[in-house]
Chains A and B, each alone.
Chain A
Amino acid sequence: MKLPKILLAIFAGAISLGAQTTTPDFSGVYYPVNPFGRFTGGPRPGAAPQRQGPPPRPTASAPLSDGSRGRAPDAPSLTPEYMAKWQAISKTRIAGSPEYDLTAKCLPPGMPGMMSMAYGMEVMQTKDKITFFSELNDALRRVYLDGRKPSEKVLEDPTYAGYSTGHWEGDTLVVDTVALRDNTFIEGFTPHSDAMTVHERIRLKEPGLLEDQITVTDPKALTKPWETVKTYRKAKPGSGTDELREFACAEGLGEAK
C-alpha cells in the first residue's frame, strides 16, 4: 500500500510541475552553429606528406588515401546493403553527377537532413502546431501538437518532411516523425530505408540557443540508432539577419536549361 501512494504522489507532483510550466516560445529566425560538425579529417598537424613520387592510386576498398572508406566514425553505421548503396552514391558524387543530389534538383532536403539547416531556419509556434521553415529550398515542416495521429492516407504517401507529432515534456519539445520518403539522406549522402523514423528532443539550451537532439532509427539500413545534436543561434531583431529571403530554387533550373 505504501509504495503505490508514494508513486501516486510523485505522479501528482509531475502533473503539477507540467501544469505550472508555461511552454517556452521557440519562435524566431535561427542560424546553425557549426552545421557541418567538427572537422576531424585531414592530416595531423606537423604530418606533412613525405611522399616520394605520385600519390597511391585509389582502390575500391580504400577510396581515401588514408585507407579508410571515407566515413567518419560518428557517421551513421550502415548495414552491408546500405553501405554498398552509399558507395554507389559516393562514386556518382565524386564523378560530379547530381543524380542523387536532391537539393540541386530544387527538392526539399527531407528529414532529418533538413534540420542540418546550412542556411537559415524560421520557427513559427502556436499552441497546436510548430512549423520549421528551411531557407534552403523553401522547405516547410509542421509538428502537430494537438495529439492528432497521421491518417492511413498520409502513412501510405510519404513526404520529404514526413509527418511529425510532438508534445511538451517540461521545457523540451519531444517530436516523433514518420512517413518519410526513402530517397532522401540521413545526413550528407547517407541513405536510409522506408522504415526510418526520427525522434527529437528540442529545447532552449540557453536563451537564444536552440538545441535539437536527434535519434534516427532504421532497422533495415542502420546497425544501431544514430544520434546527433544540432544547435542553432537566434538572430537578433534589427540585426538585419532576422529576415530570411525567398530562395526560389527553380530560378536556377530555368537558367541551366
Chain B
Amino acid sequence: MRATALVLWLGTAGALCAQTPPDFSGVYYPINPFGKFVGGPSKGSAPKGAPPRPTASAPLADGSTGRRPDEPSLKPEYMAKWQMISKSLVAGSSEYDSTAKCLPPGMPAMMSMFYGMEVMQGKDKITFFSELNDALRRVYLDGRKPAQKVLDDPTYAGYSMGHWEGDTLVVDTVAIRDDTFIEGITPHSDAMTVKERIRLKEPGLLEDRIIVTDPKALTKPWETVKTYRKAQPGSGTDELREFACAEGISDAK
C-alpha cells in the first residue's frame, strides 16, 4: 500500500515538475490594494458632543494605538518606532516618506503596487516593474545565490531567488534595506526576509501570498495576500507611463 502511494506521489510530482511554468508576463493592476476598510464608527453610533481629545497613550478615539488587528505585530522597540513615524506623518512631515522623496517603495511594500505593475518573464529571470517611482525588481530563476558583496549592500528591492513548484513561483528575498516599510508605515529591521508564493489564481488574475519574517521587529511572521488583474491588450491600460518622479522634486524647488 505504502509503495503504491509513493509511486503515485512520485508520478504526480514528476508530472508537476515536467509541466512548463505559466507565463505571468503582462501589465497588471491591484485589486483592493489598501485592503478591506474596517475602521470608522459602527453603524448608528452618531457622535454626541465634542470628540475626545487625543492622548499619547490613545491616539485614536476608540482607545487603540491605531494599528489594525491584521497589521504586522510589532515588538515594543519597533512599536515605539512606529509611533514616532506615525506622529511625524500626522504632523505633515515627509521625513519618513521615501516615495515622496522619489525613492523606491522597497520590498514587500512595492508588491502593493498602488499603480500599475509590469511583469517580464524569461526562462532564467522574472522582472517586476512598479509604475510608482519606476521601481524594478528581479527574481533570478537560474539557481544563483547572492554574492557577499550583495548581502553587505542591501537595496530597496532586495535580492530575490525563485523556483517553480508546479504552477506556483516560490520566491525568497534577502538583502533588503532597513529604512523601508513592510506596509503603510510599519518599520522593520535589517533581519527581515520575504517569502512569496505567486500563481495565476485564474487566467488573468495573479495572486501573491507574502510572508514577512523579522525576528528583531515582529513578534510573529506576518502574512498578506495581494491580487492583481491583467490589463487586456487594446484596452488602453496595458501600457504603463513613465513616472519620472524627480520632475516633481525639480518643480518644488
CA distance A13 to B173 in the complex (A): 51
Chain A, 63-117, CB within 8 A of any chain B CB: 105-108
Q: Does A124 make an interface contact (CB < 8 A)?
A: yes
Q: Are A160 and B242 in contact (CB under 8 A)?
A: yes
Q: Are A131 and B246 in contact (CB under 8 A)?
A: no
- A191-212 interface bits toward B, Cβ cutoff 8 Å, 1 = contact, 0 = none: 0000000000000000000000
Q: Are A107 and B156 in contact (CB under 8 A)?
A: no
Segment with Cβ contacts to B, from A14-22, A168-176, A221-229, A240-248: A240-248
Q: Does B20 make an interface contact (CB < 8 A)?
A: no
Q: How large is the interface on B (under 10, 10 to 19, 20 to 34, 35 or more residues)?
A: 35 or more
Q: Does A125 make an interface contact (CB < 8 A)?
A: yes
- A140-173 interface bits toward B, Cβ cutoff 8 Å, 1 = contact, 0 = none: 1010101000010110010111000000000000
Tell me the smallest distance from the CB of A175 to a CB of chain B, in Å.
16
Q: Are B136 and A126 in contact (CB under 8 A)?
A: no
Q: Does A182 make an interface contact (CB < 8 A)?
A: no
Q: Are A250 and B103 in contact (CB under 8 A)?
A: yes
Q: Are A245 and B136 in contact (CB under 8 A)?
A: no
Chain B, 137-166, CB within 8 A of any chain A CB: 138, 140, 142, 147, 149-150, 153, 155-157
Q: Which of A140, A157, A253, A254 contacts B134 (CB 8 A)?
A: A140
CA distance A237 to B157 in the complex (A): 21
**Residue in A closest to B102 when the chains form the complex, CB atoms:** A250
Given A27-B122, A240-B147, A246-B104, the answer on whether A108 and B242 have CB atoms closer than 8 Å is: yes
Q: Does A33 make an interface contact (CB < 8 A)?
A: no
Q: Are A131 and B120 in contact (CB under 8 A)?
A: yes
Tell me the smallest distance from the CB of B157 to a CB of chain A, in Å.
6
In the bound complex, residues from chain A placing their C-beta under 8 Å from that of B122 are 27, 124-126
Tell me the smallest distance from the CB of A98 to a CB of chain B, in Å.
10
In the bound complex, residues from chain A placing their C-beta under 8 Å from that of B129 are 140
Q: Are B242 and A248 in contact (CB under 8 A)?
A: no
CA distance A157 to B239 in the complex (A): 13
Tell me the smallest distance from the CB of A91 to a CB of chain B, in Å.
20
Q: Which of A107, A124, A144, A243 contacts B246 (CB 8 A)?
A: A107
Q: Which of A125, A140, A237 contacts B242 (CB 8 A)?
A: A140
Q: Are B244 and A107 in contact (CB under 8 A)?
A: yes
Could you list 13 A-B pairs, sorted by A, with CB under 8 Å?
A105-B250, A106-B245, A107-B244, A107-B246, A108-B244, A124-B120, A126-B121, A138-B135, A159-B242, A243-B140, A246-B104, A246-B156, A253-B102
Give the 5 A-B residue pairs with the shortest CB-CB distance, closest first. A250-B102, A106-B246, A246-B155, A159-B242, A124-B120
